Structure 1
């Protein structure tokens, strides 16, 4: 049971006793977990890394295309495809963008990206990433194999 579920029930249904609150909270969390598992089945829910390699003068050339690139990135994020993204630093010679769901979303992004279309990206590739640690891991694995 999470403290959030308990607190929500405490606010919404102040007359419930603690035992009833705990029971209601567990039911809500079970329901959410089942819905999440159904939406994010193992084959459907996967992480993918879109990896870019940049031209040497990327920083000098990106200005003309940056707003369009960022617009595409935020749109992909709003659709739930792009989780995180950004350039590598020291040196700025590439970028990594983390997608979830399907590899095709990352491939579509790269094909539409003005950085790719205008030659700022010399090479790009999409790789599946088996995430095993963290609350958003696609395939969580705990010590002992659980």
Structure 2
């Protein structure tokens, strides 16, 4: 079982995202390097700053969220973490 984190960005997210982007990306790399974050990305249609990430555990997702500069500085309006049953496993 994996855990999917979703972010819904604030309406005018771009200025804040640019300001806090480097620290956010550094945190993404930290969690990926630790083997806790498997994949992450933004949605393209519509391009509104919404995103999702797949984590190995709920605790990893919640730890990421708690210290994410995008959450701490108001880029993210709301977030969720949901359990996800992976069907096709290599």
So what's the TM-score if we normalise by structure 1? 0.58
Note the C-alpha offset of 1:57.
1.3
Q: How many residues align?
A: 89
Higher percent of residues as helix: 1
Note the C-alpha offset of 1:133.
1.1
Matches within 5 A, 1:88-107: 88-93=43-48, 94-100=50-56, 102-107=57-62
> What CA distance in whole angstroms lies between the structure 2 residues aligned with 1:87 and 1:58?
13
Higher percent of residues as strand: 2
Q: What CA RMSD, in Å, does the superposition of the two structures yield over aligned residues?
A: 1.0
Q: Which runs of 4+ in 1 moved over 2 A?
A: none
Note the C-alpha offset of 1:90.
2.5
**Correspondence for 1:86:** 41
Picking from 57, 71, 88, the partner of 1:116 is 71
- Runs (5+) with no aligned partner, structure 2: none
User: Tell me, what secondary structure is at the counterpart of 2:89?
Assistant: coil
Larger radius of gyration: 1
Give the conservation status (yes or no) of the 8 Å contact 2:37–2:53: yes
- Runs (5+) with no aligned partner, structure 1: 1-45, 136-146
User: Tell me, what secondary structure is at the counterpart of 1:64?
Assistant: helix
> What CA distance in whole angstroms lies between the structure 2 residues aligned with 1:85 and 1:128?
16
Picking from 111, 129, 145, the partner of 2:84 is 129
So what's the TM-score if we normalise by structure 2? 0.92
Picking from 31, 48, 57, the partner of 2:12 is 57
Deviation per residue, 1:100-146 (Å, 9 max, x gap)? 1x2010001011001101111010010000001131xxxxxxxxxxx
